[in-house]
Structures are given as structure tokens and as C-alpha cells.
Structure 1
Amino acid sequence: MLRDSAGLSELGKLKDLRGELKIRNLRYKKEMVSKLNYDGAVLKEKRHLYSLTLHWMRIERENSDAVEESDVIIESMEALQPHSSLKQLFVNGYSGARFASWFHSLTNIVNLRLFDCDRCQHLPPLDHLPSLKSLWLSGLMNLEHISEDMVKDFASDEMMMMSAASPSTTFFPSLEILRLIDCPNLKGWWRNETASASASSFPCLSTLYILNCPNLTSMPLYPNLVTLNLNRSSWDVLPSSFVPSSKLKYLDIRSVGDIEYVPEEGIGNLALLEELEIKDCPNLVSLPDQGMGRLISLQRLHISNCPQLASLPEGIGNLTLLQHLEIRDCPKLASLPEGIGNLTLLQSLRISNFPNLASLPEWMGNLTLLQSLRISNFPNLASLPEWIGNLTLL
């Protein structure tokens, strides 16, 4: 690990450097860039390097010279071009408006993370990198769109020729995991939506996390998604059919303020869904009855802190594989669906904060396989029913 820029020139002597390299406290200095350029390729010849971390020192926004030195900022990254065999690249704290032109040459990159690059306005073209499996974008405060539609702004003439020669290149052909976190100004994938752009889809994407991206309203399709986590972001980012995937198994919706109704026709298509969590949604009014009833593979259901939710769908009684059910902090709920008594495989049940519920339903006594029962904060509950004494809890 190099802890500052001073030792960069020594890297040129380490011809056989391999494994993982971390360079911290990089600075934006004309002298440093000139030195790197004079010494030649510092990292480009190191074909055995597997992982590279580039960590820049921050530029204070009050620095009036930052704009004038924008060329130096970009050149400081250009001078650190790695060998095309690199598998993993982490960039942290880079303050340029755009990234280096050598990103397109990372044809073997598998894992790419861009963190706290808060002045970034443009990303390099990443959608045709053939080996990229994991992409993590976090803290890109000024980024509004991920793709600019035109590679000429970033890539070399060689890259443009490659794109023109292979117009049918698959969109993110190997990407499996995508994380978009703390990008408050991100609006969509493309700056200019076109017919070809809207038809693009991730062929291999299985895991998608969208956290604190409240203005993101459009995404490419993800037909093979298995895990979806939407947190502190807009419901509009999901297609009208909820998610265009019959393979989804894990769905987590949290702190989504603009959701009032879950679409009936969308959620009913998720026949393979095994876990569903809906938390901290202040404006959620109802859940679809028939749609919920078609979640025939659901094993875990968690609904909490939805203050406007006034009822639960009777369709919950059709979830015959359900093993874990938790409903709490939904103060407008006055009753529980009788169909819950038909969930013969239910192993754990947690219900709490039901100020309008005066008694526990008799059907709960049918849940003979319960191993865990937690009941709390029922201010109007006068007594417990006799069937509770018949339950054998492990």
C-alpha cells in the first residue's frame, strides 16, 4: 500500500508487482502529474496486478482554483492507467467532472466501484465491458445520468470504431450485481431516451440495490432479477408491471414515500417470490387482494410502519407455504384476515401495535406448527383467549 503520491515514481521499478495495490492520499498537483508523465507508464505495464484502489484527498469546495485546475485533476487519473488485465478497480474521492479515457480499455474488469466522486457529472461508457459482473456507484452527488448515449465524449477513436463495428454488442453482457447508492440527483439511465435505449435490458443482472436515489425514475429492464432492494427512492423507478421478472425471489421495499397502492397485475406475476418486506412506507393505503394471493412460493412476509394501511388482503390466506409472518406498527389495522388461520405451515408470528384490536381471533388457535409467537402493544386487549394455553411453542 502507498499512503501518498510521493512513492508513485518508485512503482515504475516494480515490474513484476502482482496481487492488490492500494494508493491513498493522491493529490492534484501539476508537479506530480509532470513527474508521472516523465517517468512513463507507472501502472500500465503491470500485467499481474489483480486489484487497484485509487484514493484521492478531497478538494474543499471553497477552493477557487479547483475549476482552473480541472485539467490537472483529470490528468492525475489519466497518468495512473492500469494494465488491461486488471480485474478489480476501486476509485474513492476523485473530484473530476469526468473520468479518465482509459476506462474503456478495462476489458477484463470484473468488479468496479466508484465511491464519493461527488463532482462527477459524466461516467465513462461501461455498458460494453465484457467481463464486468459487479458495479457499485455510491456518493456521486452531481451525477444525473449514467449513460450519455455518445461514447465520443469519453472514448478513443479505437473504441468508437469497435462500437460501430459491433452495433449489436449486448448491453452489460455479464453484469450480475448493481448498486446505486446515495446519488440524489440521478434521474435516469440515459440523458436522451431513445427507442433503442428503452429496449435495452440487463441479460444477467440478478441483484439490484437502489438506495437514496429519490429522483431516479427510469431504468433498463432486468428480466432475470432475483433480488431487488428499493430504499428511500421513488416507486416510479419500477416498470408499470411492478418488475418485469418471474424469477424474483427477494423483494425489499423500504422508506418509499410515493407508493400508495401496489399494482394488482404486477405483484401477481411474482410466482417465485419467497420473501417480501414492506417497511416505512408512510402513504401506503392498501395491498392487492388477488395479487397477494398468487404469491404461491412466499415463505416470509414482513409489513411494518405503514401508518395509512387500513386493512390486509384476504388473499394472504392463500399463501400456503408461508412460514414467517410479521405485522407491526400499522395503527389503522383493526383486524387480521381470517385466512391466516389456514396457514398450516406458519412457524413464527409477530404482531404488535394494534391499538384498535380488542381481541385475538379464534382462528389463531389453528396454527399448530407455531414455534414462535410474539404479541405486544395491544392497549385495548382485555384478555387472552383460551387457545393460547393449548399452543406448544418451541
Structure 2
Amino acid sequence: MPVQMGRLKSLRILTTFNVGKSTGSTIGELRELSHLGGKLSILKLNNVVDGTDALQANLKNKKDLKELELAWGSKDADDSEKVRDVLDKLQPCMNLEKLTVKLYGGTSFPNWLGDSAFNKIKVMCLINCHYCFSLPPLGQLPALKELFIYKMKFLRTLGPELCGQPFQSFQSLEKLEFEEMAEWEEWVSSGSGGPDFPRLQELILEKCPKLRGSLPCDLPCLKKLSVKGCGVLHDQGATATTSTSTSLNYNSLKGLKIEDGCQTGLLSLLETKPLSQLDIRHFNDIQCLPNINRLQSLTLGHCPTLLSFPEDGLPTLLTSLQIYRCRRLQFLPQTLAQLTSLRCLSLENSCDSMRSFPLGIFPKLMSLNIGNCENLESLSLIEEGVDENLSHLNRLTISGCPNLVYFPQGGLPTPKLTSLQVYRCDKLRSLPECIHTLTALQYLIIKNLPNLESIAEDGGLPPNLQHFSIENCERLRASSSSVGDYCNWGLQALVSLKYLNIGGRGSDEILETLLKQQLLPTTLRILWIKELSTLKSLDGKGLAHLTVLRSLYIYSCKSLEFLPGEALQHLTSLQELYIYDCPSLQFLPEEGLPPSLSYLSIYKCSGLEKRYQNKKDHWANISHIPCIEINDEVILRE
């Protein structure tokens, strides 16, 4: 919170100090404080009259200050010399470890900003310093590990002045980031003969549209390079001979991310350096990937013209492959079958030509996500070695595949599957057969499956299920023929089930049947009831035996009018009760709520708000609860 100084003399922790008429504070008042704590933000420095006033703050002698954000206002500075003088006089103590300068309006920085005497500064951020034509010699800060330069719109050339003395620059710098440098055109080496950034591990360039030429060619410790929105930038190899390209000292480079209109010349690094991670996004002019040697992780996103993988295929060492919004890309099983090390595969909004996905093609696959593949019709099992190849799969997620009708006949030979999630598959009629044989399954989430007719016809749900969620599956409604199906689910026998979520279209009758026939397992600890349109009351019989239930969420049940008071009294472990968007619910049970309850939340329930917000009518029924929240008001028991 902003602090008004007034007569404060011994404040030990000051986080934010606003200078200006609105606070009645002047920068000079900081001189009165001998202890500021570790962090200080001074805002609206444009209201400082001159450097003399700033000098009175006496930041130079506040030895305990570790972090000094200095920020001017959003308006452009009208006096560059005055602004520079103010910043000069705000020189902090030598113990400073992090410095942020925002909206500085000077055309140059004061000398102290790159002084090697600041030998403890580890992080430096220069943000929106629009009018500076050059940077201070930050390379002289011996402990600097992270440097962030954002939105310096008048800087055109970055040269030797940044590094300072030759052979001594950026001895500790590990991360360097430039972002939104609208006019930056050239990055010139210091010419010292050695690396300008000898320990740099991560370089990020984002939205530098005019930066052309080359990156620094000698980055011996660089591990991660990320380039986004630098449309004319290319690496050395794009304009030089192959021998020059291979002479780039990027031998430690493991990860490359290029995004949003960058030149494909950067891709030559793929053929010359042993990368392990590659992330390519928002490329509009690439049809085929270049050959990749030792890659382990590949992400392809928003590449509308990409048609194929490299001619020599993907490397067999690949363990992670993520593809999204690459609709023209051909998913060729015979090409991908060589990925014998693949563990994680995600396909989203991609591979429009794919009609069937061959489960079991990847022998070590552990996680499979298929999303928004609109033309996918089936999941198929290859004949030879399918059981062995699916033995490692533990996560399977299928979503947004409107033409998918069935899982493979006979069920899934996935003994280690722990999570199965199926969303938004309009034509899907059933879950995998023999689902009860998936003894490792712990999480089963099904949502927005309007044509799903059955989930466990032959043996019930998996016996070790812990988390079960079912929403908007209207064809599963209770009827004379399907009431028995709920018994066949075997919910009562699921002694490990802790979390149950039931809601959405068609779920009113499901919940009513489960409660009436007492089919819920006694082990439940968290119960979500949400978006039921016709339910007027919860059947107390089915709730009363949930004696270890800790949290009950009732969410957006518009027609709910009553809660079973006697049944709730039996919930002796209930600690949290959430009632959200239930406008028809007028009162809580007269019998009161369980004495174990420690938190009650009521939100967007007009009837309950009128009854309990004045803390008079019926308040005695809930006054024993330590914490009550009604809309945005929190009431703590005295």
C-alpha cells in the first residue's frame, strides 16, 4: 500500500512511497528514516522538483536497502537534464542487490548506474526508458546475473559501451532479455577478442522488429535461445559460408525457441548444433522441417503451411512431441514408428487428414493428448505387440473430436493407466469396454459427451478410482432401463474414491438416484454438485452416511430450495460448505449446520443474503462457524 510519511521516524519496512500532492509526501522525507527494510519502491518521481530535493532522500546511506524500484509517471519528461540529475542524486547504497528503473525520461544514464563498486547487484531491470540512446556500462557490475531491458524505443545500436572494459564484461551474467525494442537495428561486438558474455546461459529477444544481422557469435555457455517477433534477424549461417556457421561458439546450446515471423535462417542451428529442445511457433513460410540430429523435445505451433517432418524423419531420441495448430501437417504412422523413445505426445488442432490414430505405435509412450482433431473417427489397435507397446501409458486425454464414435473393441490393454479424461466428443457412445480391468486408474473425468450411453456396463468402474467427475452427459439419465446401470457402476465398492463431481445436463436424475439408493461410497471427502436445473432438494438419506465428507460444494443449482438439515448433522467431518449461485435457496436448515464446520461461503444467493447479511434473523444457526464469507464480506467469529 502507498505510504504517507507525515511524522513517521522509525518505519522499518516501507514497500511503496508515492511522491506528489495526492499523498502530501516529498522525496526528502525519506531522509528521516534510518531503517527502510529490504525493499523500496518510489513512484511518481516526475513530481520531484530537482536533484537537490532528491539528494535529501539520502538513499546512499541506507545500508539495509536490498531492492530500489525508481519509477516516473506515465507522461513524457519535459526536462531531460532535470530527470537525469534526479536519478543521479538517488544513487542507492552499495549493498543493493536488485534495481528497477521505470519510465525514466533522460537521454542518458548517470555514471553510477554502471559503477563496478556496486559489486552486489544481481538483477537489473530498465523498463520504458524511451529517450536513452545508449545503455550504461552494465558489464562492469561483477555480480550481475540477470539483465532485463524493455521498451527503449530510441535505442538503435547496442555496442561496446554496454560491456565497458575489455575482457572484464559481464563476468556473472546468466540471463539476458530484450523486449519491445522498436528501433533497435544493430548489435555490435565489443571487439575485445574474447566473449562479451562468457557465462550467459539464456538469451531472450522478443519484439525487436528491426534488429538485423547476427547474434553475438561467441556465447560459450549459452543453453537456451528464444527469439520472437524479430522478423529480419538471422544467425551467422544465414549470410555466411557453412564453415562460418559451424564456427559459432554455441556448443552448450540445448534449447532453441523461435516464434512469430522470425527468419528461417535461425533453423540452420538445427543442423550444426546438438540441440535437445526445439520450439517453433507462428511460422507462416515453412513447409518442411530441416534435418534434426539429437533432439529430445519438439514443439510445433501455429505453422499453417507446414506439411511434413524432415526427410530423414525425426530423431529416435525424441521423448516429447507437441503439435498444435498445424492443420496441414501429415501424420504418417510409418514415419513416426521409429520414435521408439517417445514418452509424451500431444496433438491439438492439427493433422486434419488424420482419420484414425494407431494406439500402441510408440512402445514407451506414457502420456497421450489428442484435442480438437475434427476429422478423427477412431482409435485403432495395431495387431502385433500392442499389449507390450501400451504397457507404459499412464495418461490419456481425448477432447474436441466430434466424429469419434468408439474406443477400440475389447477395451484398452493399458495396465498402468492412471488418468483417463474425455471431453467434447459429440458422437462418442461409450467409454472403453471392460473399464473395470484398468486397476491402476485413479482419475476418470468425462464431460460434454451428449451421446454417451454407458460408462461401465460390464463389471463396474475401476476399483482403485480416487477422482470421478461426470458433467453434461444427458443420455445417461435415469430411466426404467438404466436405473440398474447406476448399481452396476459399483460406486459403493470404490473404497479409494475421495472426490466426486456430478453436474450439468442430465445429471439431476443421476444424483437423485445415487442419493436415494445410497450408492455413494462412504469414503468420499469432497463432493461437487453443480449446474443442476431441476433439483429442488437433496435427498438426506444418501448424504447422511458420508461421515468422512470434508468439503461440500453446491454450485449454480438454480432450482434448489431445501437442504436436508437432519442429514447434514450426520456429516460430523464436514469442514467446508460452499453455496454458489443458488437463488431459490431461502434459508439454511433450522436444525443448524454440523458443529465441525469451520468455513461457510455464500455467494450470489439472493435469498440467503437477505436472511443472514444483517446478522440478526436466524444468525444463531450459523454463529458457531469460525469463518463465514457472504459475497465479498468475510466475517470472523469473535
TM-score (norm 1): 0.79
Q: Which whole-Å CA distance do the structure 2 matches of 1:20 and 1:355 have between them?
A: 53
Partner residue of 1:142 out of 148, 154, 165? 154
Q: Does 1:75 align with 2:63?
A: no
- The partner residue of 1:239 within 211, 236, 243 is 236
Alignment of 1:255-294 (within 5 A): 255-259=260-264, 262-263=267-268, 266-271=269-274, 273-289=275-291, 292=292, 294=293
Cα distance, 1:80 vs structure 2: 0.6
Q: Which residue matches 1:45?
A: 61
| TM-score when normalising by structure 2 | 0.51
Are residues 1:219 and 2:215 paired? yes
Asked if the contact 1:33–1:75 (Cα under 8 Å) also holds between the matched residues in 2, the reply is yes
Does structure 2 retain, via aligned residues, the 8 Å contact 1:94–1:116?
yes
Q: Within 5 A, what are the aligned runs for 1:76-115? A: 76-105=86-115, 106-115=118-127
Does the C-alpha gap of structure 1 residues 333 and 35 become closer, same or farther in structure 2, counting only changes over 3 Å? Answer: closer
Match of 2:449 in 1: none
CA displacement, residues 319-348 of structure 1 (integer Å, 9 cap, x when unaligned)? 23x222123332333353734212223223
Deviation at 1:185, TM superposition (A): 1.2
Following superposition, the deviation at residue 199 of structure 1 comes to: 5.5
Q: Label 1:391 to 1:281 Cα distance change in 2 as closer, same or farther (>3 A).
A: farther
Q: Please report how far the alpha carbon of residue 375 of structure 1 lies from its aligned counterpart in structure 2 after TM superposition.
A: 4.0
- Taking the aligned partners of 2:183 and 2:102, their CA distance within structure 1 comes to 19
Deviates more, 1:251-260 or 1:375-384: 375-384
The residue that corresponds to 1:7 in the other structure is: 26
d(CA) in 2 for partners of 1:382, 1:198: 61
Cα offset, 1:205, TM superposition:
0.6
1:337–1:385 CA distance, 2 compared to 1 (3 A): closer
**SS of corresponding position for 1:21:** strand
Deviation of 1:358 after TM superposition, in Å, equals 5.6
Are 1:201 and 2:196 matched, yes or no? Answer: yes
- Answer yes or no: is 1:124 the counterpart of 2:120: no
How many aligned residue pairs are there?
357
Distance 1:372 1:391, change over 3 A: farther
**1-side partners of 2:229 and 2:74: how far apart?**
27
Instruction: Give 3-state SS (helix, strand or coil) of 2:346's partner.
Output: strand
Q: Is the 8 A contact 1:260 1:285 kept in 2?
A: no
- 2:207 touches 2:229 (CA, 8 Å); kept in 1? yes
Q: Is contact 2:157-2:185 (8 Å) kept?
A: yes
Query: Greater shift after overlay, 9-18 or 275-284?
Result: 9-18
1:59 aligned residue (61, 64, 75) = 75
Secondary structure in 2 aligned to 1:74? helix
- Which whole-Å CA distance do the structure 2 matches of 1:198 and 1:183 have between them? 27
Alpha-carbon deviations, 1:16-40, whole Å to 9, x = none? 54422211111255x3433345x4x
> Contact (CA 8 Å) 1:127, 1:171: kept in 2 or not?
yes
Q: Secondary structure at the match of 2:299?
A: strand
| In 2, Cα distance between equivalents of 1:42 and 1:246 | 47
Of all paired residues, the percent bearing the same amino acid is 29
Letter of the aligned partner of 2:31 in structure 1? Answer: G
Question: Which position in structure 1 is the counterpart of 2:257?
Answer: 252
Q: Can you give the 5+ residue segments of structure 2 that lack an aligned partner in the other structure?
A: 1-15, 238-244, 383-406, 418-638
Does the residue aligned with 1:276 lie in a helix, a strand or coil? Answer: strand
Instruction: Tell me how far apart the structure 2 counterparts of residues 35 and 368 of structure 1 sit (CA, whole Å).
Output: 71
1:224 Cα offset (Å): 0.7
Q: Quick check: 1:314–1:338 contact (8 Å CA) kept in 2? A: no
| 1:327 and 2:323 aligned | yes
Shift, 1:317, TM fit:
4.2
Residue 60 of structure 2 aligns to a residue in which SS? coil
- Which has the higher Rg, Structure 1 or Structure 2? 2
Task: Tell me the equivalent position of 1:310.
Answer: 307
Q: Is the 8 A contact 1:8 1:36 kept in 2?
A: yes
Asked if the contact 2:210/2:232 (under 8 Å) is kept, the reply is no
